[in-house]
């Protein structure tokens, strides 16, 4: 059986730039695997504009332009399922998980890795292609140990250049706007304060979802701050801006 090459893709700039570079160099990619994470049964973990773009534009372009089909894998559980899951052992028996701990996050290990491992176990051997930029030194070393193919390192493509490659190929997500350089789950507890402020302003329905979880979580969203703290901070900022109008 000939060697198979599968690209792991989040549809962010780096993973797409890796696919574009490899295809432009005439190197094979036999398929793409994308892990879709859900906040609840209806709301995706992706930023809304990124979610829509992935399915309406990016996936169709990969197939029509490059002949690459995308396989979507997804956990049967959602973020909220695990948020409200109760501990069954130890000193926290009966308590819900709540928000993930900064230093011990359950998101990746319980929502992303299981469906990927399940999918991988059914494959008959393949080499994984990942999008890690040439200037991401720590990630590059880890990927080398796993035997992954790194097109961006191979061709010396930096994170900044990955933007240009995707933009020129008309495969840059609209979620990259207003200074946003990285994408991830919109409810990630590792996000910067500026992104929290943006959720509250631009996606009020999602902010309300987070505030509801905040009221129930035994774990604070940030190490030293609840989302209620941020709500009060942002409200004060809004008030200050309003005062400047007079």
Domain boundaries, the chain: 5-186, 191-246
Q: What is the pLDDT of residue 143?
A: 66
Count of Cβ atoms closer than 10 Å to residue 210 Cβ:
22
Can you state the angle between helices 59-66 and 13-24, rounded to 10 degrees?
0
Using CA atoms, how far residue 96 sits from 145, 185, 207, in Å, is 36, 21, 21
pLDDT number for residue 75? 96
The tokens of 49 are what?
């504009």
The pair of structure tokens assigned to 181 is 């350089």
Per-residue pLDDT of the chain (246 residues; tens, 9 = 90+): 578 999 999 999 999 999 999 999 999 999 999 999 999 999 999 999 999 999 999 999 999 999 999 999 999 999 999 999 999 998 889 999 999 987 777 888 899 999 999 999 998 889 999 998 988 877 777 766 677 899 999 999 999 999 999 999 999 999 999 888 889 999 999 999 999 999 999 999 999 999 999 999 999 999 899 999 999 999 998 887 554 554
The structure's pTM equals 0.90
Query: Phi and psi of 19, rounded to 5°?
Result: -65, -45
pLDDT of residue 246: 47
Name the CATH architecture for the domain at 5-186.
3-Layer(aba) Sandwich (3.40)
pLDDT of residue 63: 97
């Amino acid at each position: 059986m000939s060697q198979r090459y599968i690209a792991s893709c989040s549809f962010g700039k780096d993973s797409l730039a890796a696919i574009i570079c490899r295809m432009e160099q005439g190197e094979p990619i036999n398929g793409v695997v994308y892990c879709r994470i859900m906040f609840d049964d209806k709301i995706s973990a992706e930023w809304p504009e990124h979610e829509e773009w992935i399915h309406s534009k990016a996936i169709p372009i990969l197939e029509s332009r490059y002949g690459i089909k995308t396989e979507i894998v997804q956990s049967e559980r959602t973020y909220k399922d695990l948020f409200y899951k109760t501990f069954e052992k130890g000193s926290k028996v009966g308590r819900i998980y709540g928000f993930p701990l900064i230093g011990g996050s359950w998101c990746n290990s319980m929502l992303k890795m299981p469906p990927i491992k399940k999918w991988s176990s059914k494959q008959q051997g393949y080499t994984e292609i990942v999008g890690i930029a040439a200037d991401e030194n720590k990630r590059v070393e880890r990927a080398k140990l796993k035997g992954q193919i790194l097109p961006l390192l191979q061709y010396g493509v930096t994170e900044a250049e990955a933007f240009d490659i995707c933009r020129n190929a008309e495969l840059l997500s609209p979620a990259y706007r207003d200074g946003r350089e990285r994408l991830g789950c919109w409810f990630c507890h590792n996000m910067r304060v500026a992104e929290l402020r943006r959720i509250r302003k631009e996606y009020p329905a999602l902010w309300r979802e987070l505030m509801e979880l905040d009221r129930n979580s035994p774990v604070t969203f940030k190490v030293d701050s609840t989302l209620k703290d941020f709500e009060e901070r942002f409200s004060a900022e809004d008030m200050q801006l309003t005062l400047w109008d007079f």
